[in-house]
Amino acid sequence: MKTVHEGTFLFPATHPLFADHFEGAPVVPGSLLLRAFVEEAGTVWPDFATQGATGFRFRRFVTPGRHPFRMERTDLTVRCTLMDAQGGILVRGDLTTADATGDAGTDNDRTGADGEAALHTSPRGTTA
């Protein structure tokens, strides 16, 4: 069975991180994009304990602003896709849980149970 969650991440251009990454041409770091997906997965599916990330491809630089996303969950993975305003794919990859990685399960280390993290917000999407 697959469930789908969609929403929007907000990476505010005024955040101090973007002053140095990179001055005059701000880019959202890949680690921050991955963190946004991990936190969102933990909020939407509390029973999904992310243990790894596989196959993440960064097709284009992600600039600050609002970016729509889509997450598709199966039992062992969450397929994550970040898009531009026209629906073009910017980033795509899979989060995996303990069963998929062979690791022992641990509790997610996440913050923002209301769906907000340091640099992103996500209005509740739909689950279908």
Query: Domain of 76: which CATH number?
Result: 3.10.129.10
pLDDT digits (tens, 9 = 90+) for 31-41: 999 999 999 99
Domain-embedded: residue 49: yes
Domain-embedded: residue 78: yes
Please report the pLDDT score of residue 128 as a whole number.
Answer: 38
Please report the pLDDT score of residue 101 as a whole number.
Answer: 60
Domain-embedded: residue 30: yes
Decide if 90 contacts 57 (C-beta within 8 A).
Answer: no
Number of independent structural domains in the chain: 1
**Residues of the chain with confidence (pLDDT) below 70:** 100-128
Decide if 90 contacts 60 (C-beta within 8 A).
Answer: yes
Please report the pLDDT score of residue 84 as a whole number.
Answer: 97
Domain-embedded: residue 7: yes
Domain-embedded: residue 126: no
Domain extent at residue 105:
3-121
Contacts of 24 (CB under 8 A, 6+ apart): none
Domain-embedded: residue 128: no
Decide if 91 contacts 56 (C-beta within 8 A).
Answer: yes
pLDDT digits (tens, 9 = 90+) for 62-73: 999 999 999 999
